[in-house]
Amino acid sequence: MSETLRQLRARAKREAPYVGIRPYSHNIIRLTLAQIEKDHGRAAANKTVRDLNLAAKEFNEEPERD
């Protein structure tokens, strides 16, 4: 069963404060963003990066394809 966008964003939000502190937090967020992109599109993944201020944690928005 696929997770909803809300659940995936909650996982990224939960891990964000621990990037660089807990092992694997960066990987969990990266995999979560990849899952958001796969299930909900690149725009939703980029919005997650912006909304959670993940750029401050060295996550980048990916260019959207036309």
Average pLDDT of each block of 10 consecutive residues along the chain (66 residues)? Answer: 88 96 94 96 96 92 78
Predicted local distance difference test score (pLDDT) of residue 66: 53
Number of domains in the chain: 1
Q: Rounded to two decimals, what is the model's pTM?
A: 0.89
Tally Cβ neighbours within 10 Å of residue 17.
11
Q: Is residue 64 part of a domain?
A: no
Instruction: Kindly state whether residue 63 falls inside one of the protein's structural domains.
Output: no
- Predicted local confidence at residue 63, as pLDDT: 85
pLDDT of residue 61: 87
Structural domain including 11 reads 5-57
Looking at residue 15, what is its pLDDT? 96
Nearest residue to 49 via CA among 16, 2, 25, 1: 16
Residues 37 and 2: their CA atoms lie apart, in Å, by 13
Total length of the chain: 66
- Which ranges in the chain belong to alpha helices (H)? 5-15, 25-40, 42-51
In a domain, residue 65? The reply is: no
Q: Is residue 12 part of a domain?
A: yes
